Chain A
């Protein structure tokens, strides 16, 4: 049985965390994601499930609390918005290096700097290219609805524990703030301390019994050991690409033109697909649900079918680079997106498709280029 409610994305995510049996949340207020900790505090999760919720003194403290809790094998998460995530990146790098499971949520706002409190997708690079220092990646889920804000909490923890790695839910101010109906899952019980010790006793620090002591660290002063650690991480990322890629194809079967968009932009692009088809333009949408892993192969294949691709993002052009890398110049790829917290309309998106792709003479160049290579 699931419960139907009308909720903000941020609230749905917080409620899902309680229901998923999350052990702890550590956070710091920042617009537009403060509803997460506000909802958690109002719901008295310590009474409902025993979940610990603590407002930390800083984003830095919050992510290090996450590190501490994750060290002990507990299900722990934090959330923030862009400037706050920048502060957390040191800790996120440590989580990746120390191979700890944790969930981080970024309800993105416009930047750089203090930027704006309005929605944005300008943290794409930060999310999928590492962000913090060192050779690491995050598994990145991009919800496009309030329902997914709720559902992805559990999905994120499944991945985090499958790989012992931090997972990022990359939302934005639009998905976080808007209200939609959402089916909430039933309450799951938190796993007991005994179960934690039994399940994760091989690595988690819970007190040294008769087993070998457990140590959580990201430090390897010997280069060979450090390289081995990095290789271990790379192996996980390769496995994620193989086993846990997620995407959605909308009206792609007969598409001649393709939008690529995630999160709130995907919702807008989906509407643009409808508008295009009404005009007789065969448009489709590829929505990456995971931004890492990225649907490279799917794009590579679609590039043989479509005449051009428009990457629609609420930023100055970030994911478009990965789209271009994926299609290996088989087809024209352009970017369209508003920035600064302005949200593009479906009409603007369709207009951009017509202008930048359909009536773009460069599309011909690609065919020429291809033949010249041949």
Chain B
């Protein structure tokens, strides 16, 4: 038996996500963004909605999301993705509109846009990747940086007395009537990734049913920014991020858990 006999469709056990381009990911090895991208694209592909999907990319590490996601995308100004998505969704009410944002983008500079798009109950999906740091600009303190966590702008650790406490955006927006689904996941293990994918799928289903905002937070690592190996960063995330940002559903089908 030679190689060409083995390479047959029936023997295929895994393939690259169809809706991901061939561009080399700009993320650091070990970063969770790649998995979060894959899961989002898998859901869109499996639901067969690519022709009706418009994504909105943020500013931050995932600013180039449109280089990797083989779909129509608009790149928004820093923090403004929910406003951009609002207009797209209002003008194309039968489209699936999603934003893909990090914590600096969504929870700091874009807080007003996040809250008000959620409050209006825009029929959109928000995928919120929270790694507690500004990755792209080199590891500065984010609104979600944990108490005591050192960053380049809080080199002695975040002092909540002067720098405020890490903000729990998903809990915050879950309290708004316009939010139909608010949930928090992770993508560092297969088990977690599978759960996260189910949540993303439910979010896009909600869009189909015109239920309002579906807010999916993915707690992720930033091994470069946290100055750890990928494995260490995942363990640190489990030990420190998860206790403060507990995984699980916060609001399902419009009902707070």
A contacts, CB < 8 Å to B: 23-24, 26, 52, 54, 56-58, 60-62, 64-69, 71-72, 74, 76, 90-91, 94, 98, 193, 205-209, 213-219
Contacts and interface: CB of A to CB of B under 8 A. Distances in A.
Given A61-B116, A219-B63, A207 B87 contact: no
A54 B73 contact: no
* Chain B, interface SS category: helix
A62 B50 CA distance: 27
State which size class the interface on B falls in.
20 to 34
B75 A215 contact: yes
B51 interface: yes
17 contacts: A52-B87, A57-B112, A58-B112, A60-B80, A67-B80, A68-B83, A69-B91, A71-B74, A206-B72, A206-B95, A207-B92, A208-B53, A209-B51, A214-B72, A215-B74, A218-B75, A219-B64
B93 to A, nearest CB: 10
B90 A64 contact: no
Main secondary structure of the interface of A (DSSP, over half): mixed
Contacts, number: 122
Contacts of B57: 217
Contact of A207 (B54, B76, B77, B112): B54
A293 B141 CA distance: 45
Interface in B1-26: none
Contacts of A52: 87, 90-91
B113 to A, nearest CB: 5
Contacts of A67: 74, 76-77, 80, 84, 87
Contact of B95 (A58, A74, A207): A207
Contacts of A216: 73-75
Given A213-B71, A217-B74, 6 more contacts: A24-B90, A52-B91, A66-B87, A98-B75, A207-B72, A208-B72
Contact of B73 (A62, A76, A91, A205): A205
Nearest to A62: B83
Contacts of B85: 68
Interface of B: 50-54, 56-57, 63-64, 66, 70-77, 80, 83-88, 90-92, 95, 112-113, 115-116
A74 B90 CA distance: 11
B76 A74 contact: no
Contact of B50 (A58, A60, A64, A208): A208
Contacts of A66: 87
A207 B88 contact: no
A219 B62 CA distance: 13
Given A57-B113, A91-B77, A213 B70 contact: yes
Given A57-B112, A64-B84, A91-B80, A206 B54 contact: yes
